[in-house]
Structure 1
Amino acid sequence: MTTQIRADTAGLSGASRPAAENPSGTGEHARRRTRSRTAVRLLGRRILVMVPTVLLVSLGVFAVAAASPFDPLTAHLGDNYQSATQAQRDAVTQAYGLDDHWFAAWWKWWVAVFQGDLGWSSTMRQPVAELIGQRLPFSLGMSLAAFISAAVVAIALGAVVGMRRGGILDRACTTLAAMLAATPPFVVSLVLVSMFAVGLGWLPTSGARRPGDDYSVDGLLTHAVLPYLALTISMIPWLLLTMRSAVVDAAASDAVRGARARGVGGWTLLRGHIVPVSVLPTLALLGTRLPELIAGAAIVETVFGWPGLAEALVDSAVALDFSLLAPLAVGSAVLVLIGSALSDAAAVSIDPRIGLRA
């Protein structure tokens, strides 16, 4: 999908006029309505593009599965594979349609999905719909909390260090961000476990509850601290560096120099002239970093034994559990497409100088 970005010179010139030329604010209100309508149209177009994209992604999942050198019958039979007779193997193959052509299997899967049947997970030994319903809140809560926290910290800290370019705080933050950007999430997870779980003994090492206990709010919060920190820390570096770079560029622009010449400074300058422009690259990056969030969540959940969908995605891929792998892969693709569309729509709504067309 190609996104074209064009400068809206009329909106830019209008935004630079003194407020006295438009005391009623009618022109600004009209421009906001126009930007809102543009954002809505953009979302509508992206939804239309999303349909064939999701179909192609699902088709690719089944095609790659067919090319896999692993035998799915081994995953279905598990420990009973060696002791199973040929008749039992043939029965399992026929029952799960393992001998179907991958395109026929893809078509049957979509037909079943539209009928409300997501199939049976051979890995988890339960219906896929039931499995997703049980694990989705764990993944959604963890990922959403880490996503929001990373965005808030990166935008706020990036704005501060960008305004103090070359200072001690700027050098310390950029150096640490560069180091963390080169560190895989599983290394961050292991360091946190070594420090706070093994070394200090403050937090549990894995799971979402103590063995034998039911799920509780206190237990979930206690067990979620380390995976939440690992996922948040892994997402902050690129967002922080992007926001810092955008603030540095905005602070050196002619518009900000003119504001400084008019006596505008401090928090008013940052809030009114620098942040609205600088936050746009970060918003765009948020949409494109969703695959990193999904991959990081899969690694973090596996390391910490968090009972989410990301861990199930890894297990289903390893065990060739395509009934579970297909909906998780398609769901991940939908999440990425929605995130990209929302970030672009937010950019259109915030900055009058930008127009995006899908």
Structure 2
Amino acid sequence: MTLLRPATSASAAGHGDPVNSPRGGRTRERLRITRRLLGRRFVVAIPTIILVSLGIFAIAAASPFEPLAAHLGPNYQSATQSQRDAVRVAYNLDQNWFEAWLRWWGHLLTGDLGWSSIRSQPVADVIADRLPFTLGMASAALITAAVIAVVGGAFIGMHRGGVLDRCVTGLAAALAATPPFVVSLVLVSVFAVSLGAFPTSGARRPGDPYTLDGILTHAVLPFIALTMSMIPWLLLTMRSAVVDAAGSDAVRAARARGIGGWALLRGHVLPVSVLPTLALLGTRLPELIAGAAIVETVFGWPGLAEALVDSAVALDFSLLAALAVGSAVLVLIGSALSDAAAVWIDPRIGMSA
């Protein structure tokens, strides 16, 4: 009895304590690998953000646009040279781009994003007013596109070669080759102009305050356009991954054991197939941001796209740098999180920064 008691206690501890159980060990290993990945990505992100901000200032300074035209508007042609020089000094347009970059980082490190010369308000206020529109639209479209692509790609992948598979694959390939602004213009022509079912632009009627009903009504067409621009590459990737997984030895062995249908898809196909889709989400985030900017411009959606374009034309360094660097940070965070999710699902892939 005395010899069996330690063994029994150890066995009970091993099965009762999740930390010491095999599942607890796998969880700790996942956490370790995920933390290591995120730590490496954070270290890499710091110089990346610095270089991106430096490149933004350098490229903006080399832009062929005349910033005075944006600041003076219709008075640009009639303005005298002394008036133009005064505007240059007032808006710091006469300073070197490298000095402007150093000055911007100096303010940023103190928590000050600067002053937007074209909006005549703090950059933080510009972002606070417009970010909810951009973030809400992009997040809703991304989640919807991901759900449709995963479900649709899994279904047609498990029924490859059929009529539905060929039709959906061909439609997705054609849609992937269509620029987002073309999709947006078609939606405007059909549903806004011809049918009059939805508003053509903005997020409210002229003169009306923002309301939830008005925002949702105006958001329908840009939401559809942005979602349609993201579905093809996600769906085709998911479909290809499901086809590869369905033809693997592991799945054939599962079929031989009598496993099929939803149990086969959930237990043997999806865990492997979802990894390429997660990785693609991280690498294609810049296209999501670019697509959102195009869609917002076409539909006049009051997001950050208009502010980004205006700041680039007018060389509003403070606003331009904040928006561009913020976009880069979102891409880096999204890429790191998608890779971390993939590592959590399958630590054997050994992903690193």
- Counterpart Cα distance in 1 of 2:316 and 2:170: 42
Matches within 5 A, 1:34-45: 34-45=29-40
**Which residue does 2:120 correspond to in 1?**
125
Q: Which amino acid aligns with 1:238?
A: W
Q: Which runs of 5+ in 2 are unaligned?
A: 1-13
Tell me the TM-score normalised to structure 1 length: 0.90
Match of 1:52 among 47, 52, 61: 47
Return the offset for 1:23: 8.9
- Counterpart Cα distance in 1 of 2:65 and 2:206: 34
Q: Which runs of 5+ in 1 are unaligned?
A: 1-21
Q: Which amino acid aligns with 1:230?
A: A
Return the offset for 1:99: 1.8
Q: Which amino acid aligns with 1:165?
A: R
**Which residue does 2:312 correspond to in 1?**
317
- Counterpart Cα distance in 1 of 2:77 and 2:323: 30
Return the offset for 1:315: 2.5
Q: Which amino acid aligns with 2:90?
A: A
SS at match of 1:296: helix
**Which residue does 2:343 correspond to in 1?**
348
Q: Which amino acid aligns with 1:174?
A: T
Q: Which amino acid aligns with 1:311?
A: E
- Counterpart Cα distance in 1 of 2:192 and 2:67: 38
Q: Which has the higher Rg, Structure 1 or Structure 2?
A: 2
Match of 1:299 among 284, 294, 298: 294
**Which residue does 2:352 correspond to in 1?**
357
2:266 counterpart of 1:271: yes
2:52/2:325 contact within 8 Å kept: yes
Q: Which amino acid aligns with 2:215?
A: L
**Which residue does 2:78 correspond to in 1?**
83
1:31/1:352 contact within 8 Å kept: no
Larger RCO (CA under 8 A, 6+ residues apart): 1
- Counterpart Cα distance in 2 of 1:316 and 1:352: 43
Q: Greater CA deviation, 46-55 or 123-132?
A: 123-132
- Counterpart Cα distance in 1 of 2:149 and 2:254: 25
Give the number of aligned pairs: 337
1:75/1:321 contact within 8 Å kept: no
Residue by residue, what CA displacement relative to the aligned partner does 1:245-286 show, whole Å, maximum 9, x if unpaired?
000000000111111111111000001110010000000000
Match of 1:166 among 153, 161, 165: 161
Q: Which amino acid aligns with 1:153?
A: I
- Counterpart Cα distance in 2 of 1:274 and 1:32: 22
Matches within 5 A, 1:85-104: 85-104=80-99
2:169/2:236 contact within 8 Å kept: yes
SS at match of 1:357: coil
**Which residue does 1:285 correspond to in 2?**
280
- Counterpart Cα distance in 1 of 2:195 and 2:70: 40
Q: Which amino acid aligns with 2:217?
A: T
**Which residue does 2:103 correspond to in 1?**
108
2:234 counterpart of 1:239: yes
Residue by residue, what CA displacement relative to the aligned partner does 1:7-29 show, whole Å, maximum 9, x if unpaired?
xxxxxxxxxxxxxxx99993233
RMSD after superposition? 1.7
2:278/2:338 contact within 8 Å kept: yes
- Counterpart Cα distance in 1 of 2:298 and 2:133: 15
SS at match of 1:353: helix
SS at match of 2:350: strand
2:180/2:225 contact within 8 Å kept: yes
Q: Greater CA deviation, 135-144 or 32-41?
A: 32-41
2:289 counterpart of 1:326: no
Residue by residue, what CA displacement relative to the aligned partner does 1:194-250 show, whole Å, maximum 9, x if unpaired?
221112211111110011111111101000000000000000000000000000000
Match of 1:257 among 223, 248, 252: 252
Tell me the TM-score normalised to structure 2 length: 0.91
Q: Which amino acid aligns with 1:76?
A: H
Change (3 A) 1:327 1:269: same
Q: Greater CA deviation, 69-78 or 325-334?
A: 69-78
Change (3 A) 1:235 1:242: same
Q: Greater CA deviation, 125-134 or 268-277?
A: 125-134
Q: Greater CA deviation, 35-44 or 224-233?
A: 35-44
**Which residue does 2:144 correspond to in 1?**
149
Match of 1:337 among 294, 308, 332: 332
Match of 2:26 among 24, 31, 46: 31
2:296 counterpart of 1:308: no
Return the offset for 1:114: 2.1
1:75/1:122 contact within 8 Å kept: no
